[in-house]
Amino acid sequence: MTTNAVVPEAIPLWAEIDLAALEHNVRVLRGRAPRSELMAVVKADAYGHGLVPCAQAAVRAGASWLGVAQLTEACTLRDAGVDARLLTWLYPPGADLAGALRRDIDVSASAPWALDELAAAARRIGRTARVHLKVDTGLGRGGAFGADWDKLVRHARCLEGEEAIRVVGVWTHFAHADAPEHPTVLAQQERFFEAVARAERAGLRPEVRHLANSAATLLHPGAHADLVRPGIALYGLSPVPQVADDFGLRPVMTLKARLVLVKRLPAGQGVSYGHAYAPAADTVVGLVPAGYADGIPRHASNAGPVLVGSTRTRVAGRVCMDQIVVDLGAGSTAGAGDEVVLFGGGPGQPTAQDWADAAGTISYEIVTRVGARVPRFHVGAQEPAR
């Protein structure tokens, strides 16, 4: 069970991050893909959970790779002393690739200009860039599509000749891995292995082939290849909420607040902006210091679930910038200072998925958008968290 963080009384809203749960989830995912290495995807501040402590926990639990979108995220990890292979994949022309190479970071390339910039950076600092070539097998997003793949491969082979780069990986990403029966999953898989074969025929010798996100790691063993790249499942949230199985994952983030005001309101008194809610009978309401500035989706107005003590209730009225009101019921004995759980994984607690359902979005967005002013308290670490 979750260890509660020691949180100073004066903090209105905070996120408890259970690193023991994160380590457990890494082990669950490794168990699902026992012949593959695991790249823990920790982009976007580890989906809102805190980049460095989560990366360190993932490495402790056996992740040998870490993946991030932006270069600066990768640099932050290396500068914090994180010792794992690192891959970064999203940068515009002119990015500080030399900085990445100096830090021993692997970099993805989807187009010839990216290879040219990598080669130039490598020459400048006297290194060989380790590159993962990305192929678009049907996602229609990053990666080289169609005939561009062979061009990218030839360009890479040419730069390998002068030892400016070395292609160490080939990779792709699924469009529908979260739809277990979707025909594009197998089609993309086949196109991927065909693209790998073409790269090898052209003389490239990648060490790792990788394509599986969380959904594919959990559902499509044929896509495990050399390395799996789970993100959301590390944080204990299912990539396939429509599938009843929770795969034994444990939610890592619990978002908590303290009531800042409790008061009585008469029947019919409109609540908060626009009076979008009015209690049918006299009631007690509580003011929760969490709003859309903290990542509480405004689309969850009159819907987002909240646990106060043992009372499960919902947002009453609009979600405001800094606060929400909850209807605690006429008999409530709650008082200012009482703890509120917006979401977590404990008994009776609403989940990030419940909030996603209430707001018409996905759990990824609920945790990732928890705002910068919400302090994260890391608990359950074997080493003191930083």
Ligand X SMILES: *Cc1c(COP(=O)(O)O)cnc(C)c1O
13-18: strand order across its sheet: 261-265, 283-288, 324-327, 311-316, 305-308, 339-343, 253-258, 13-18, 376-379
Does 48 engage in binding with ligand X (CB under 6 A)? Answer: no
Of the candidate spans 7-15, 109-117, 223-231, 306-314, the one that interacts with ligand X by CB under 6 A turns out to be: 223-231
Cβ 179 to ligand X, closest distance in Å? Answer: 13
**DSSP, res 13:** E
Of the candidate spans 143-151, 231-239, 256-264, 351-359, the one that interacts with ligand X by CB under 6 A turns out to be: 231-239
Of the candidate spans 232-240, 250-258, 272-280, 286-294, the one that interacts with ligand X by CB under 6 A turns out to be: 232-240
Nearest one of 250, 217, 218 to 235, comparing CA atoms: 250
Does 173 engage in binding with ligand X (CB under 6 A)? Answer: yes
Does 236 engage in binding with ligand X (CB under 6 A)? Answer: no
Cβ 246 to ligand X, closest distance in Å? Answer: 15
Distance CA 269, CA 249 (A): 43
Q: Compute the radius of gyration of the chain from its Cα atoms.
A: 23
Does 41 engage in binding with ligand X (CB under 6 A)? Answer: yes
Q: Is the dihedral of CA 189, 192, 193, 194 positive or negative?
A: positive
Does 363 engage in binding with ligand X (CB under 6 A)? Answer: no
Q: Which residues are CB-neighbours of 81 under 8 A, at least 6 positions away?
A: none
Nearest to ligand X of 232, 325 (CB atom): 232
Cβ 239 to ligand X, closest distance in Å? Answer: 5
Does 30 engage in binding with ligand X (CB under 6 A)? Answer: no
Interface pick for ligand X out of 50, 138, 231, 304 (rule CB under 6 A): 231
Which position among 256, 273, 292, 364 bears the catalytic label? 273
Does 237 engage in binding with ligand X (CB under 6 A)? Answer: no
User: What residue is closest to ligand X based on CB?
Assistant: 231
Please count the helices (runs of H) and the strands (runs of E) in the chain.
Answer: 11, 18
Strands 208-212 and 106-109, bridge-based pairing: unpaired
Nearest to ligand X of 89, 343 (CB atom): 89
Nearest to ligand X of 272, 368 (CB atom): 368
Does 230 engage in binding with ligand X (CB under 6 A)? Answer: yes
Verify whether residue 43 is a known catalytic residue: yes
Verify whether residue 256 is a known catalytic residue: no
Does 209 engage in binding with ligand X (CB under 6 A)? Answer: no
DSSP string, 210-271: EEE-HHHHHH-GGG-TTEE---GGGGT--S-TTSS--TT----EEEEEE--EEEEE-TT--B
Nearest to ligand X of 138, 239 (CB atom): 239
Does 251 engage in binding with ligand X (CB under 6 A)? Answer: no
Residues 194 and 160: beta-carbon distance below 8 Å? no
Residues 270 and 290: beta-carbon distance below 8 Å? no
The secondary structure element, H or E, covering residue 45 is: helix 43-48
Which residues form the interface with ligand X (CB under 6 A)? Answer: 41, 43, 173, 213-214, 229-233, 239
Active site residues: 43, 273
